[in-house]
Amino acid sequence: MKTAFLFPGQGSQAIGMGQALAEAFPAARAVFEEVDAALGQKLSRLMFEGPEAELTLTANAQPALMAHSLAVIRVLEVEKGLDLARDAAFVAGHSLGEYSALCAAGALNLAETARLLRIRGDAMQAAVPVGEGAMAALLGAEWELASEIAREAAQGAVCDVANDNGGGQVVLSGDKAAIDRACAIARERGVKRAIPLPVSAPFHSRLMAPAAERMRAALADAEIRAPQVPVVANVTAGPVSDPEAIRKNLVDQVCGSVRWRESMLWLGASGVTRFIECGTGKVLTGIAKRLVAGSDAVSIGTPEDVAAHGD
């Protein structure tokens, strides 16, 4: 039986995330303290107590989600004897979760990962003035139909497929007017629902080009090592272990599509039958169960989860 560890992306954050874990396990507290020190900010207090509006800011949500995910990994290592190199065939993370996966696999150290995600969050927020970009989820549309709708809606503006999450959920991103057109076209084409998303910027679209350049500069100075287990990259939906390929993928990922459906299908085809989502929420657990027939998928984010699923 092959196991893959999964790491959630933005949108899963919630007040109280990681708090019970920190109260129960010194290993978790140590992760939050190291992230706080790396950022020069009491991010853990914001995670535990809010306010929600501040936690939701991209520059805070991204390192916060990573911190909770890595706290879970460290607790499993100390309390349950997890050895990722021995116990995992692959790791994968959704958008910012790819940084969590790389950190868990030893390609990036924790402090560097926190700093990179703070830069990434700031850069993505600053790339497009608030109100000019938008994102929308098409429910009941597969990749091909969503791509057709995006092309038809663009009309000279940007309308890109940002996330292919599988199970008939595809997210579009781009100029607000184009996204509004795409929602209208989707309804005309029989898509079940077209839902504008409450996001602060058009992530994973060509409008993020300024952020990609900032990440290129930040990643050029980052020490990236070969991961202990292969990381399935968002932009290629395949495994990567070469540090320079990882560096390139992380730059390309800022504007590129998150090919999560293909990533999960690739993992299933590679023999993975067990998925363990580490951190906040259960979104990726649900997707894995839908996409990989017969798979066992669990999420671990609390002391109770560690006790129930940590072996």
Annotated catalytic residue within 12, 44, 69, 95: 95
> How far apart, in whole angstroms, are the C-alpha atoms of residue 108 and residue 246?
11
Annotation says 309 is catalytic = no
Nearest to 288 by CA among 300, 278, 276, 279: 276
Tell me the pairing of strands 272-278 and 296-300. parallel
Check if the beta carbon of residue 124 is closer than 8 Å to that of residue 203: yes
Active site annotation includes 95: yes
- The neighbouring-strand residues paired with 90 are 4
Q: Give dist(CA 299, CA 192) in Å, integer.
A: 28
Element spanning 114, H or E: helix 110-126
160 - beta bridge partners? 173
The DSSP annotation for 53-72 comes to HHHHSHHHHHHHHHHHHHHH
Of 12, 100, 204, 299, which residue is the catalytic one?
Answer: 204
Burial class (CB in 10 A: 0-12, 13-18, 19+), 190: exposed
Please classify residue 15 by burial: count the beta carbons closer than 10 Å to its beta carbon, then call 0-12 exposed, 13-18 middle and 19+ buried: middle
| Residues 108, 222 contacting (CB under 8 angstroms) | yes
The closest of 164, 194, 192, 159 to 175, measured between CA atoms, is: 159
Catalytic residues: 95, 204
